[in-house]
A and B are shown apart, each in its own frame.
Chain A
């Protein structure tokens, strides 16, 4: 049965997507603000099984720097240049739309197109991930995919049937040309492809998580974890942050001390990648690691964690799509970025 989303549902969904961001993916608050102005409420969202599988579909997302995006805010139609290019290339319009990344600010991105397209509750990541070659459709090697990104001043870069790594390389460059972020679109697949090659029900999960978090503002840590259907990893104060220069690029870690004296080490790139407790890895990507501010219980992004902050750390289950297959799993484990020693052991 299709979901009907009202404007009043937005805060809870945004909270949920922030949790699924695992410290990255940008703040859903920005897209929430855009939606409040642009969308025609209520919005209907369909499950994959509720629409014709042959419906041509398109997936959209903001890619690039979320910090820059908050500096240079998007207009109301950020995805139009990329979608137009793809539709022209394919010679057909895509009447269905889903989000590329079901987390952070992108969780709500597809709703921006709800006025002219059918919104499907599916996405290609199921959590926040940093790279374009981690798009599920690309990971599974679907043929005929077309990806496009504006390059600034009216230009558009389009790449067809390319290897996942090349999509990342070429369109990352295009994104840089566009000024650090861009409205990315992926086409050339049908709604039916999402059944096996995408993560389903992200909006529903975000909504559930957001509501649960809202209800758990006063709960004990254990109750909180239970309500979110997650695992409590620990709670403590950040005592040190350090750039892990020897490990891999752009990796840094936060050292937390719990009240019991446990040493927690939260390792991050643009998302939280792993958590180690007393020398044992207790959670690592693709498991979603959530850092909540211990006082406000708001999900924190990586750059909001700093020395002196009291933090609650939770693990939410990774989308089964990633862990069901070793080849997929390879794409999202810490070793994918050349980081050694962070695979889950205990």
Chain B
């Protein structure tokens, strides 16, 4: 074995017993001699590190003499425990060309030396065992699992894809290394001046091109092997955790979706059980709410959509919730106090931006309700959002986005009736009527079905009006005593006019 034990490797070892460099620079050793006392060290060595378990002497000349004798035996490095050595001894060490290290726990350093020199597999085994030990702790999610691993192994760990780090724990992996990760290999060891990262691909049903990476400072062979193996062992744990997280999130979404259904069915009249469930989920009914409804205009996986929307909603500086409902998702923002119009307008803009960014991935239409307070208000604004979304689905010109708070009720009706599907229907409904008849019908409906008022309005005789109305009913085959029919015809008149 040649120069298997480098100073850098020792300093980077996760458990070298509190090793610090006192004086000296880059050095590598072939062997390490660990003894309780100096006199037990071998008489003549080359390229060796001495590790003494007994604390260094306190008198300055004794330290000097110790360094000198150890150097004269051929050692080029010595690890001492006990009180730190003085400046003079440090200067002497430099003059003698011997690296001096200070260590709090010499026996642990001895073990580290042994692992690095004699038992590389032992280092690997120890590292893998630490990975395995991480399973003992219950992890809430992937982030938690990575934190356990990072803490146990003593190396930074990260889930990465080609764009960068998705989730990480422990020492962050320097960008210089991340840039060199090869995503085509099974096991890849990327290196730079800042250290190295060993990574393997992680299979996931929903996301592709993921790798789990372990980061180490020193690129010594023993360390690289240990971390590479550890990454391979870690991979199935991470993959399983990803799957569990997905299943958990699906079941969580279905629960929250069910709860939202229950709430909407109650129409804002909360019973204690629903309220309790909403509170558990963190859905507060007090405060002011702004509803949001996003419906699919094509084939969309509501869960995927929800995942994307939730991640974007989390960036807004306001409390937000969302869940799936039918072929889309329903969500809302909750303000503890009524926001100023300016703030509200800004949030609606945020939602519009969110809509636009989601639109690039999914074919959707979005409706936003108006700001309403309390539980009742939440039901109301969600209802408005639902209606607005329905409108938006037909409004390509509006970019598939309709916020309701910008419309009055009349405008809502108008915008609804002038929508892309209603306008042609209105045209065909009124097609049998002449222009005069249409005007008469519109005035008649506007004047609350009064013949007299209509006649006055149009400046004609009431018998004329009466006759025209008879004819119109015949032409349309419509019964004008039915309020539904009246409403439909009135709307049709507005659209066609």
- Which residues of A approach B to under 8 Å, CB–CB? 239-240, 242, 244-247, 251, 253, 255, 257, 261-263, 265, 267, 274, 276, 278-281, 339-342
Contacts and interface: CB of A to CB of B under 8 A. Distances in A.
A279 B85 CA distance: 13
Given A262-B95, A278-B96, A279-B68, A340 B88 contact: no
B64 to A, nearest CB: 4
Among the interface residues B67, B86, B89, B92, which one has the most CB atoms of the partner chain A within 10 A? Answer: B92
Nearest to B64: A279
Interface residues of B, number: 21
B186 interface: no
Interface of B: 57-62, 64-69, 71, 86-89, 91-92, 95-96
A45 B89 CA distance: 49
Nearest to B69: A279
B91 A276 contact: no
A261 B92 CA distance: 8
Given A262-B95, A263-B91, A279-B92, A253 B60 contact: yes
21 contacts: A240-B87, A242-B86, A244-B60, A246-B58, A253-B61, A255-B60, A255-B87, A255-B88, A257-B91, A261-B95, A265-B60, A276-B65, A278-B95, A278-B96, A279-B66, A279-B68, A279-B69, A281-B65, A340-B59, A340-B62, A341-B62
Contacts of A255: 60, 86-88
Nearest to B62: A341
Given A278-B95, A281-B61, 18 more contacts: A244-B59, A244-B60, A247-B58, A247-B59, A251-B59, A253-B61, A261-B91, A262-B95, A263-B91, A265-B61, A267-B61, A278-B68, A279-B66, A279-B92, A280-B65, A340-B59, A340-B62, A342-B61
A242 B68 contact: no
Nearest to B90: A263
Nearest to A253: B60
A276 B62 CA distance: 10
A255 B67 CA distance: 16
Contacts of A244: 58-61
A265 B496 CA distance: 109
B88 A239 contact: yes
Nearest to A275: B61
Nearest to B89: A263
A250 to B, nearest CB: 13
Contacts of B57: 246, 341
Contacts of B86: 240, 242, 255
A-B residue pairs, 9 tightest by C-beta: A279-B68, A246-B58, A247-B59, A255-B88, A279-B64, A263-B92, A341-B62, A276-B61, A244-B59
Contacts of A247: 58-59, 62
Contacts of A265: 60-61, 64, 88
Nearest to A245: B58
B60 A341 contact: no
Residue of B60, B66, B89 with most chain A CB atoms under a 10 A cut-off: B60
Contact of B61 (A240, A262, A274): A274
A321 B59 CA distance: 30
Among A239, A253, A255, A279, residue most surrounded by chain B Cβ atoms (within 10 Å): A279
A281 B71 CA distance: 15
A246 B55 CA distance: 13
Contacts of B61: 244, 253, 265, 267, 274, 276, 281, 341-342
A4 to B, nearest CB: 45
A177 B58 CA distance: 35
A24 to B, nearest CB: 19
Contacts of A240: 86-88
Nearest to A342: B61
Contacts of A276: 61, 64-65
Nearest to A260: B95
Nearest to A276: B61
Count chain B CB atoms within 10 A of each CB in A245, A247, A262, A274 and give the residue with the most: A247
A245 B59 CA distance: 8
Contacts of A339: 59
A279 to B, nearest CB: 3
A263 B65 contact: no
Nearest to A257: B91
A247 B60 CA distance: 9
A309 B96 CA distance: 25
A246 B62 CA distance: 11
B59 A341 contact: yes
A240 B89 CA distance: 12
A339 B58 CA distance: 12
A281 B60 CA distance: 12
Contact of B64 (A242, A257, A263): A263
Contact of A263 (B58, B66, B95): B95
Contacts of A341: 57, 59, 61-62, 65
Contacts of B95: 261-263, 278
Contacts of B66: 279
Contacts of A342: 61
Contacts of B92: 263, 278-279
Contacts of A245: 58
B187 to A, nearest CB: 49
Contacts of A274: 61
Nearest to A341: B62
A244 B60 CA distance: 7
Contacts of A239: 87-88
Contacts of B69: 279
A246 B57 CA distance: 8
Contacts of A262: 95
**Residue from B58, B67, B68 with most neighbouring chain A CB atoms (10 Å):** B68
Contacts of B60: 242, 244, 253, 255, 265
Nearest to B67: A279
A223 to B, nearest CB: 27
Contacts of A280: 65, 68
Contacts of A281: 61, 65
Nearest to A266: B61
Nearest to A244: B59
A253 B87 CA distance: 13
A157 B119 CA distance: 73
A60 to B, nearest CB: 36
A278 to B, nearest CB: 6
A297 B305 CA distance: 92
A267 B64 CA distance: 12
Contact of B65 (A251, A253, A257, A279): A279
B78 to A, nearest CB: 12
A279 B93 CA distance: 9
A246 B61 CA distance: 11
B484 to A, nearest CB: 104
A247 B59 CA distance: 6
B84 to A, nearest CB: 13
A193 B95 CA distance: 51
Contacts of A267: 61
